[in-house]
Amino acid sequence: MAREARKAEAARDARQAEDRRLADELAKEARIAEEQRAAAERQAADHRLKAEAAAREAEQQARARAEAEYAASERAAQEADQQRLILEAEREAEAIRLTEKIRKARDMREARKSAGPEDLTSAINIPDAITMTQGRKPSIEQAGTRVTVLLMMVAGDRGIRRWNKSADPVLCLDDVCYVSQGPNTAAKRMPRSTAFGPGIALGSRAGACNNALGCVFRDVDLEGAKALLQPIDLRIVRHDRREASEVRADETCAIAGGKLSCRAGVSSATWRAWIVPEAVAGRAGATTLEAALSAGLNASEASNRGER
């Protein structure tokens, strides 16, 4: 009996030891699992904090870039405004300088006229080698001083005109200029300085003749038997001033068979024109004027600059 009791007690002790071992293992596993969970939570928190910090840094960098870009654009806009003002001032000064030179040239020409008849070709020193021709005197009683100028420009080959084979032509006569308003309306007259000011050069530009090689200028006043005519292709910075020629109302202009023809047109290397008496242009009408322009202003007796 005593031996059996000892065996039973030993078995009970063994079971208790096994229970304790199992409990210890379970506790250890639970502790390990808890530590792993806590570590995972700490790692997740670290990742979240790092992500939030990275997002804040990215936002700050983006804001800094945006502020820098805005500041750069503001500086660029201010510099552009300053440059525009400088260019406007330069254009204004250039227009005034050219106007003064043309006025002096006109005074010299008038002085020569008053001194006696002049039969030789004369030249004046103005930009782009502007020259004028001397020819026969037309009948002012027949032609008058108001004319319609049909102008055909040769596309320039400098700056934007190397690719854009067009023009924005205006006409200048001494110290006044004309901007076309179309074949039915008198061209707009203005001082030369105004024609190259910001309101025109950066605004309305060549009026009805924007992006056109051919143009009709109605009701241009030569203010005398003849005048120095200079076509100018408006640009943004440096305008393309073409050579100037002395012109007069062409009394050979006539309408026949519904077509306009002028036998004494004016031409140069970069432009040609018919100087149509305004009365003839009025009888011809807009359609006939535009048809003559579309035909290229060809005439068998059209003269070259310096040969009239």
More confident residue, 276 or 3: 276
Query: Within a domain: residue 133?
Result: no
Query: Within a domain: residue 134?
Result: no
What confidence score (pLDDT) does residue 305 get?
41
Query: Within a domain: residue 212?
Result: yes
Kindly state the percentage of the chain with pLDDT values over 70. Answer: 71
Kindly state whether residues 58 and 195 are assigned to the same domain. no
Query: Within a domain: residue 136?
Result: no
Could you tell me the residue range of the domain that residue 6 belongs to? 1-112
Query: Within a domain: residue 135?
Result: no
What confidence score (pLDDT) does residue 239 get?
74
pLDDT tens column, 32-84: 999 999 999 999 998 999 999 999 989 899 988 888 888 888 888 887 767 76
CB 164 within 8 A of CB 297: no
pLDDT tens column, 191-203: 887 777 665 656 5
What confidence score (pLDDT) does residue 303 get?
45
Kindly state whether residues 155 and 291 are assigned to the same domain. yes
Kindly state whether residues 106 and 154 are assigned to the same domain. no
Query: Within a domain: residue 126?
Result: no
Kindly state whether residues 292 and 147 are assigned to the same domain. yes
Kindly state whether residues 268 and 171 are assigned to the same domain. yes
Q: How many residues make up the chain in this entry?
A: 308
What confidence score (pLDDT) does residue 142 get?
41
Q: Is the pLDDT of residue 123 over 60?
A: no
Kindly state whether residues 108 and 162 are assigned to the same domain. no
Kindly state the percentage of the chain with pLDDT values over 90. Answer: 29
Kindly state whether residues 81 and 154 are assigned to the same domain. no
| Domain count across the chain | 2
Q: Is the pLDDT of residue 135 over 50?
A: no
Kindly state whether residues 91 and 154 are assigned to the same domain. no
Kindly state whether residues 238 and 105 are assigned to the same domain. no
pLDDT tens column, 217-233: 999 999 888 899 999 88
Query: Within a domain: residue 132?
Result: no
Query: Within a domain: residue 149?
Result: yes
Which of 3-17, 54-68, 121-135, 284-298 comes out lowest in average pLDDT?
121-135
Kindly state whether residues 182 and 62 are assigned to the same domain. no
Kindly state whether residues 12 and 86 are assigned to the same domain. yes
In this prediction the pTM is 0.52
Kindly state whether residues 162 and 274 are assigned to the same domain. yes
